[in-house]
Amino acid sequence: MGDVAGIVLSAVQALEQRTAALQAQAAQGERQSVLIAEEVAKVYPELVTRNAQGQVETIRYQELTPMLLNEVQHQQQALSIQQRQLSAQAQELAELQAQHTRVQAALEQQQAQNARLQATVTQQHERDAALTARLERLEAAAARAGALANR
């Protein structure tokens, strides 16, 4: 049935609408959109009636309306499906954004912890450097004391 709906929609879209002023309404300036039977016959010949000579006479509007209604229903179903998909995608996006926020917070915590650890390492290096310098001084003093004791 979807193929028929697609054909109908394609055919209807191919029809060129003409605006014609109806004689009874011309004085009031009202305009009405109409379809030209010959143009309808080119794209959807089943929607027109022909005379004995095969010339197009009129459009079978009574058949056009159910086809258009059917197509509107199909489009409404497609729209409903798209709305459900959009809703699901919006929910997924919200979940991904929440997950991103959690990951970002965890990353910031890791960065803060890394900064604290780096500061601790820097302090430890400073202590090690100070102890190494003190040890070198003590060793130098011990060497001098040993040399003095040997004299």
DSSP for 81-141, written as a single string: HHHHHHHHHHHHHHHHHHHHHHHHHHHHHHHHHHHHHHHHHHHHHHHHHHHHHHHHHHHHH
Instruction: Give the pLDDT confidence of 64-88 residue by residue, as tens digits.
Output: 888 888 888 999 999 999 999 999 9
* Residue in the structure block whose two tokens are 């022909």: 50
DSSP for 53-69, written as a single string: TS-EEEE-HHHHHHHHH
| Averaged pLDDT for residues 19-28 | 47
Q: Is the pTM of this model over 0.85?
A: no
* Residue in the structure block whose two tokens are 């179903």: 77
| Averaged pLDDT for residues 8-30 | 54
